[in-house]
C-alpha cells in the first residue's frame, strides 16, 4: 500500500497523523501535545492550552476544537468521547 505520509514533512496545519483517546485528568498532561481535539458527545471541555492557560469551552456533538492542547482536565469537563489529534 502506498503511504502518502512517508515523504511528507509534518505540519501544524495538519493533517494529524494519529488520533488518541483522551481520559480527562487533572494531574497529567497528554502524552503528546494535540493540534486539535475531536469530541463525540458535546458538553464543556476544560483544557490547558499549549501556552499554559486553562480554558473551558462548550462544544456540540461531533466537534473539532482546533487549538493546541497539552492537558484535558477532569474537573469541569462534561463532554465525552474526546480524542487528541496529534502529529507523531
Q: pLDDT tens, 3-48? A: 455 555 555 555 788 999 999 999 999 999 999 999 999 999 999 9
Is residue 76 within 8 Å of residue 58, measured between CB atoms?
no
pLDDT tens sequence across 44-70: 999 999 999 999 999 999 999 999 999
Cα Rg, the chain, nearest whole Å:
13
* The pLDDT value given to residue 15: 79
**Counting every residue, how long is the chain?**
88
* The pLDDT value given to residue 2: 56
Taking the C-alpha atoms of residue 29 and residue 68, their distance in angstroms, rounded to an integer, is: 12
Domain ranges of the chain: 18-86
* The pLDDT value given to residue 88: 72
Cell numbers at residue 52, please? 499554559
The Cβ of residue 85 has, within 10 Å, a number of other Cβ atoms equal to: 21
Amino acid at each position: 500500500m502506498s503511504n502518502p505520509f512517508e515523504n511528507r514533512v509534518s505540519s501544524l496545519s495538519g493533517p494529524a497523523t494519529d488520533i488518541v483517546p483522551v481520559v480527562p485528568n487533572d494531574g497529567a498532561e497528554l502524552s503528546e501535545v494535540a493540534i486539535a481535539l475531536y469530541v463525540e458527545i458535546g458538553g464543556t471541555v476544560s483544557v490547558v492550552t499549549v501556552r499554559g492557560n486553562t480554558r473551558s469551552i462548550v462544544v456540540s456533538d461531533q466537534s473539532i476544537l482546533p487549538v493546541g492542547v497539552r492537558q484535558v482536565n477532569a474537573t469541569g469537563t462534561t463532554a465525552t468521547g474526546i480524542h487528541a489529534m496529534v502529529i507523531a
